[in-house]
Amino acid sequence: MKSLRRTIILIIFLLVSVASMATGVFAWFIDYGNGASVDPFGGTVIGNEDVLEIDAETEGIFLGDRVRDLVYLNDSEFDIPSFNFYGYASVLELVITNPSLNTINVNLQLNVVAAPEFGVYAGSQAGIKYLVLETNDSMTQPTYMAERFAYFQSTGNVYSAMSAHNFGGFSLAGETSKRVYIYMWGAYDGLTTAQKDVYHALVYRVKVMV
Amino acid sequence: MKNIKKIILLILAFSVALSTIVGVYAWFTLQPATEALDLNVRSTELFSSSARVSLGTENLDFNHPLYNQTEYAIEMTKSQIQSNTSGSILPVVVNVLITPFKTINVRFKLVEVWTVNNIVITRPNVFTWNYAISNQTDHAGYYTHDQVLTKNITPSDIDFIDNATVNTSVLNGLPSGAVLKLSLVVSATQANRSDNWNLTTSNHVVKQFNVASQISNQQLNVIFDGVSNPQYTRGVYVEFKSTSNNYSFIWHTRTALSNRLTLPAGTYDVRINLVNHLDFTVTRNGNVIEITVSYGNINSWGFEDVLYAPSMIPVWQPNVTYSTDDMVYYDDASGDGENAGYYRARSGSTGAVPDTTAWAWQVISVYFSDTRVYLEGEIIYYNGKFYRAKSNVWAGNPPPLAWAWELLGHEHETGKVYSPNDIAFTEANDVKTWYVVYGSFTAHSGVIEKHYAMKYMSIDYNEHNQGKYGLGEYVRHQGYFYRVTVANNWSTPSVGAYGYLRVGLEFVSKAYPVNAVVLHNGQYYIAVNAISSGQTPGSNSNWRLINHRGDYAGSTTYNRYDSIIYNGKRYFWNMASSTTGTNPETTAGWWSLDQQWDYKNTYVQDSIVSFNDDLYILRSGTSTNQTPGVSGQWQPLSLKWSPTAMYYNSGSERSIVEHNGKHYVWYGAHDATFTPIPGTGRNGWNEMTDVWVSTNSYVQGDFVIYDGSFWELLQPQNPTDQSNVPGIDFTVWKEHPILWDPNRN
C-alpha cells in the first residue's frame, strides 16, 4: 500500500514536471517571426497580460517607414572613451503607454530580418548596433548615452554590455507613458567583405520587437 | 543497493525539477516579443542646407532677376559683372547654412560656367575668390570648412566667400555675349572619416577623356546606373580640365539643356561633384558626351552626402513684389504655422498672402491645397489617398471629381481610368471586395456595379456577373454548385437554367457518365451505363439502385451494389464477385458514399468531394486514387489556391485565389494547371495589394506604396534583380515623397 502511494506520487510528480517543462520550453521558443512582411508602424502590442500602446509619431499614412541617416562606426571607435556616439546616432523615437494598472517591464529589441529581395544590398544584424534609452529625468539624452557608454566600455566588451542593457529593458508603471529612443549605428566591422563594398547602399529591414 | 536506487531517483527528480523550474521561468519571464514596428534603415542623408548670397547691398535669392530658376545658378552677363565691379572687387558674399543631421565636416565649391551663345568656353581667370579663410581649398577647388559641425537642429551659418577680385583686363577681353553662371556645391562627410578630405590628397574621382581632334557642339548627358539617390539629378557639375583649358558644365533634369561643349584636342581630367562612393565613365556617343555614374570601389570608407545648389528660397515678405514662378517659404505665423510651406507664384503680386490668395500663389506640396491650381499629371495626397490630375484643375476642386482626379492604387472611385487586366476593390467594414477589369473605361460612379466590364471575384454567384462567367467556371448559388456550360450567359443558376448545369450528388435531369453516383428520393443509384438526359433513377436499368443492408457485419456476404454502414460511414460493394469479412475502409471494391474523398472510389466528372475540410470537384474524366489538391483534375470549390486547379486569364475569365491569408490574381497562361505557389516568386500570381510586393510583376505606370512613400514604375517592367525594390535604383521606381524638400527635389 505504501509502495503504491509512493509510485502514484512519483508518477504525478513526473507528469506535472515533464508537462510544465515541455510547456515552458515550448512557450519560450515559439513565435519569433522572421518574415519580411510589412506591419503597421505604430499600434498595439500584447505583452504577458498587458496591452502596450505605441505611438511612433509618424505620418501613419503608409505601412512601413524609414531611417535615412545611418552612419557607420568601426569596432575601435566603439571603444574610444568619450566618443561622440550621440552625434553619429540615428534615432527612432517612440512613446510607449501602459494602460493597465500593473507595472511592467518593457523590452525593446531591434531585429534585422532577412530581405533577399535587396540582393547584395541586404543589411544583416551584424551590421547594426543599437541602444534603447528611455527618458531620463535627471539627464539629457546625450549625457545619459555618454554615461551608459562609459559603463559599457568599462566592462571590456561594449557590444555585450549594450545587449545586456537593451535586454534588461525598463520599468513602466501602470497607466503611464514613457518616451523611448532607439539609437542606431552602422557597425562597419560587422559587414562582410561584399557588404563593405556597398556599405553606403545597404538597407536594413528592421523589426522593432516589444 | 536500496540507497543507490534512492539516490538515482533523487537525482532524476532533481533534474526534472530543475528543468521544470527553467522552463516555467522561461515561460513567465522570457515571453517572445511581438513585432510592433517595421522600417527600413539606410544611409542617404547627412545634412540639410541653404545659401545666402549678396551682391553689394542686394540679396541674390531665388527670386532675384540674376537668379536662373531653371539652372539654380546666379547668372550674370559680362556687362552686369562689369557694372557691379567696384575697382577690381566684385562684392559677392556667400554664406552657407548647414543643419547637420550627424556630426560632420563640410566643404563647398563655387561653380563657374562660362558660355557664349550657349557654347561653353574655357574658364577665363576673371575671378580670384576671396574665401573666409585662406588656404582651405584643395586642388579641385573645394573649400573645406575648418570646424566640425555637431549634430544640431539649429543651422550653422558659415562664411564662405567674402568677395572676388576681378581681373578686369581678362573680363574686358571676353566676347560681349559672355555669360557666367555661378552655383554652389555643398558636400558633407561623417566627421570621424574627414581624413578622406585631406587638402593635399583629397578623394575626388578623376577620369581621363581624350579628344583626338576638336569636337564641337557636343551635348552632355549623365546616366545613373543602379544608383539609389535621386537627388543627384538636381544638378551634376562636370569639369573638363586639360593643361590649357578648363570647361565646366551643369547637368540637370529639370529642362532640356541648351548649353553645348566644344572641346579642343587634348587630354582632359574629368571631375564631377558627386560623392566618394560613386564612380563614373566618360564616353562619347555621336555628338553626346555621356557620363555614366555607378557605385564604385571603396578605397577609404566614410559616408558622404552632396547637395547641388542649396536652397536660396526666401521667406515671404508682404512688401516685396513677386513675379510668376517665384518661390517663397511662408511661415503662416498668423495661423500657427498650419499652412506653412513653400509656395510658387502663379502671377505677379505684392502683399498677397500665399495661403489665402489662390490667384497669386500655389503651395508646393503633394498635400492637396484648395488654393492651388494643378497641372495635368500632377500627383497629390488627399484624405489618405494619392490622386493624379487628369487635366488642369483649378483651385477649389478636391477629389473625388471624375473629370479632374484619378485615384491611384486599386481602390475604386469615380474617375478611375481602367484598362483590361486591372484589378479594383471596394472596402466596407475593413473587408475588401475584389473585381477584375476586362475593358477600357473611366468610372462614372463610385458604385462599382454600375460598370459592366468589371467582374466580382467570388465563388458565389453574383448578379453583377451576369454575362461574364466563362465556360467551365463553377459558381455557388443558394447552396448548390453549378458549372457554366455556355460562356457569358445571362441566366441565373438553377436546375435547367440556360448555360448552367447543377453539379453534385443530388440527381438532376442531365447526362451522366458510367459510375456516376446520385441521390434520388433518399436512395443512392449508380450509373452502370452512360445516361442521357431525362433518365430518372429507377426508370430503367441504366441506373442501378444501391441496396442498403444496414450496419456492416463481418460474417455477412455482400454482393455488388450492397451498401453498409461501417464506422459511421456508408460504403457499397462495387465488384462483380461478392465479399465476406473484408474491411470496407481498406479493401478495394468498397466505394464510399460519403462526401469525404476515398482513394478506392473512381470519381467521374462533376463529382464533389471533401478533403481536408475543402470541397473539390472533378473537372473532367475520371479519377482513382488521385488526392485532391495533389494530382488529378480536382478543382477547389472555393478561392483557395490548389495545384490541381485550372486558372483562367482571358477576358472576363480571370482567376483570383486565396493563399496563406492573401489574395492573388492570375496573369499567366489561360487554362493553366499546376500553377506555382502564389507568393513564392514572379510566377504568374500577383498579390492583390497596393503595397509593393517583391514577387509581383508590375508594368510601367504602376503605383505602389513602400518604405513610407509612393512609387511609380518608370520601366516597362519591374526588373528581377535587387533594383526591383523601390529605393534601390531611382531610374526604375520614381518616388513621390510626401514632403517637398527644397534641397533634394
Q: Using 50, 70 and 90 to split pLDDT, how confident is the model at A42?
A: very low
Confidence of residue A40 (pLDDT cuts 50, 70, 90): very low
Q: How many contacts, defined by CB atoms under 8 Å, are there between A and B? A: 223
Which has more pLDDT, B395 or A159?
Answer: A159
The answer to whether the CB atoms of A87 and B150 lie below 8 A apart is yes
B438-474 in b/e burial notation, b at 16+ Cβ within 10 A?
A: beeeebeeeebeebebbbbbbbebbebbeebbbebbb
Say what the pLDDT of residue A210 is.
80
Cell numbers standing for residue B717: 517592367
Residue A65 scores a pLDDT above 80: no
Q: Between A116 and B81, whose confidence is greater?
A: B81
- pLDDT at residue B71, as a whole number: 93
Find the helix or strand (DSSP H, E) in which B251 lies.
strand B246-251
- pLDDT reported for residue B34: 56
Closest CA to A32 of A102, A114, A153: A114
Measured CA to CA, the distance from residue B683 to residue B151 in angstroms comes to 47
- Residue A99: how many CB atoms within 10 A of its CB? 13
3 state SS of A83: coil
Q: Pick from B58, B82, B71: which is nearest to B120 by CA?
A: B71
DSSP strand E in B302-394: where?
304-308, 321-322, 327-330, 341-345, 349-350, 361-363, 379-382, 385-389
pLDDT score at B20: 62
- Please state the φ and ψ torsions of residue B430, each to the nearest 5 degrees: 65, 15
Q: With a cut of 70, say whether residue A60 has pLDDT above it.
A: no
Q: Given this model, what pLDDT does residue B357 score?
A: 86
Residue range A135-140: mean pLDDT, rounded: 92
Q: Does B1 touch chain A (CB under 8 A)?
A: no
Which residue among A23, A109, A128 places its CB closest to the CB of B41?
Answer: A128
Residue B43, chain A, CB below 8 Å: the answer is yes
- Between residues A201 and B31, which one has the greater pLDDT? A201
Establish if B277 touches chain A: CB-CB under 8 angstroms. Answer: yes
Domains of chain B: 47-308 (no CATH), 690-736 (2.10.10.90)
* Chain B closest-CA separation from residue A154 CA (Å): 22
Q: Is the pLDDT of residue A44 over 50?
A: no
* B280 vs B294: CA distance, rounded Å: 6
What confidence score (pLDDT) does residue B21 get?
A: 67
A21 closest CB neighbour out of B20, B32, B297: B20
Cβ <8 Å between A46 and B722: no
Residues A200, B43: C-beta atoms closer than 8 Å: yes
- B39, B682, B722: best to mutate for the A interface, most A CBs within 10 A: B39
pLDDT beyond 50 at A28? no
List the single residue in B with minimal CA-CA distance to A80: B192
pLDDT digits over B646-697, tens only? 999 998 888 999 999 999 999 999 999 999 999 999 999 999 988 899 999 9
* Confidence (pLDDT) at B690: 85
What are the boundaries of each domain within chain A?
Answer: 44-209
What confidence score (pLDDT) does residue B430 get? 81
pTM for the full predicted model: 0.82
Helix or strand holding residue B97 (H, E): strand B92-100
Give me the residues of chain B with pLDDT under 50, please: 30-32
> Is A66 in contact with B41 (Cβ distance < 8 A)?
yes
pLDDT at B65: 96
Taking a C-beta distance cutoff of 8 angstroms, is the pair B515, B501 a contact?
Answer: no
Using only C-alpha atoms, what is the Rg of chain A?
21
Closest CA in chain A for residue B381: A61
Is the pLDDT higher at A137 or at B160? B160
Contact A92 B22 (CB under 8 A): no
pLDDT over 50 (residue A64): no
CA A194 → CA A190, A191, A200, B249, distances in Å? 11, 8, 12, 35
The pLDDT value given to residue A135: 92
**Mean pLDDT across A42-57:** 48
Chain A: closest CA distance from residue B16 (Å): 6
Residues 140-169 of B with CB under 8 A from A: 150-151
Partners of B472 in beta bridges: none
According to the model, what pLDDT value does residue A97 have? 86
pLDDT digits (tens, 9 = 90+) for B165-188: 999 999 999 999 999 999 999 999
Asked if B706's CB is within 8 angstroms of A64's CB, the reply is yes
Which 8-state DSSP code applies to residue B463?
A: G
Instruction: Report B:339-368 residues touching A (Cβ under 8 A).
Output: none
- Contact yes or no for A39 and B36 at CB 8 A: yes
Give yes or no for B17 touching A (CB within 8 A).
Answer: yes
As for the ipTM of the complex, it is 0.80
Q: Is the dihedral of CA B639, B642, B643, B644 positive or negative?
A: negative
Q: How far does B236 lie from chain A, in Å, by closest CA?
A: 20
